[in-house]
Amino acid sequence: MKELSGKIGFVGAGNMASALISGLVNSNHNPKNIIASSPEEEHLLKLSSGLGIKTTQDNLSVVKTSDIVILAIKPNIIEAVLSEIKEEVKKKDILILSIAAGVKIAKIESILGNTTRIFRAMPNTPASIMMGVTAISGNKSASSEDREKAKLLFECVGKVTEVKEDEIDIFTALIGSGPAYVFYLIESLLSSSSKFSLPEEEKVKLISSMIEGAAKLVSVSEDSPEILRNKVTSPGGVTQKAIEEFEKHKLKQIIEKSMESAEKRSTELGK
């Protein structure tokens, strides 16, 4: 994988920042070119000792020594952090990548200025095992080179797609929150397996492997998910009986309604 040029800084050193840093290091990016800040000494020690990057409790030090800065912080503190770093950002004309959930580009521009090069990103939690899916969206000041840098960074932890910013809410509902829906499905299948005498850990492995295999088949097959489903649904068989119950209880409509509610909530949180 092509290496990102310049110094990369993280304001925030929580789970997602740690996943991104790990992805960068595992993709042969020089840890000496990465720095992260956090008030949590434990987080910093884990990153410095485990991945060999530089760490600090001073956010300004990150901005002063970086060409790209990733805002990996909670939405409720972003105004305070942006106000703290804004003068240094303007001096250096650096690229800002924000993974603060629900925080719109306009909000960041209102503090840093609309000439600041900004990308907003929404990664999901499988980024922690390098199998994430991330949506990115840039402002008008971001260049094609900035876009390439943003894609390179998030490709270190999985797949990347570029979307319009007003589509990030539906992406969040479908993909960002998607792993939780799969976990919920696994929970439900486990609850239905009480008559299956295997140990719980074994059942989890079997169910998760089944889901992984089905997902892989969808991704490589020329057939649509509907055709694949029909191929394993024999008339009058076991699978058909289960599908009939799904249809009877309008599972598809329930999922569609749930996605609408999730998208609406994502929009509300961004206001």
pLDDT digits (tens, 9 = 90+) for 69-122: 999 999 899 999 999 999 999 888 899 999 998 899 999 999 999 999 999 999
What are 140's strand-pairing partners? none
- pLDDT for 186 equals 97
Domains of the chain, with CATH numbers? Answer: 8-163 (3.40.50.720), 176-269 (1.10.3730.10)
- Tell me what pLDDT residue 266 has: 86
> What does the longest C-alpha to C-alpha distance in the chain come to?
70
How many Å apart are CA 63 and CA 46, to the nearest integer?
21
With bands split at pLDDT 50, 70 and 90, how would you rate the model's confidence at 188? Answer: very high
| pLDDT of residue 190 exceeding 60 | yes
* pLDDT at residue 1 tops 70: no
Q: What is the mean pLDDT of residues 38-56?
A: 94
Q: Three-state DSSP class for 79?
A: helix
For the chain, give the percent of residues with pLDDT over 70.
99
Q: How confident is the model at residue 28 (pLDDT cuts 50, 70, 90)?
A: confident
Q: Nearest Cα to 87, choosing from 130, 116, 122?
A: 116
**For residue 128, pLDDT beyond 90:** no
Would you state the pLDDT for residue 105?
96
Cα–Cα dist 170/179, whole Å: 15
Cα of first residue to Cα of last residue in the chain, in angstroms, is 37
pLDDT in tens, 223-238: 999 999 999 999 999 9
The answer to whether the beta carbons of residues 117 and 143 sit under 8 Å apart is: yes
Tokens at residue 65, please?
């020594």
Q: Are 124 and 183 in contact (CB under 8 A)?
A: no
Give the Cα separation of 161 and 109 in Å (integer): 23
Extract the tokens encoding 102.
């629900």
Give 253-270 pLDDT, tens digit per residue.
999 999 999 999 988 877
User: Of 23-27, 177-181, 202-206, which range is least confident?
Assistant: 23-27
pLDDT value for 222 = 97
The model's pTM is 0.88
pLDDT score at 3: 65
List, for residues 149-165, the tens digit of each pLDDT value: 999 999 999 999 999 99
pLDDT of residue 271: 73
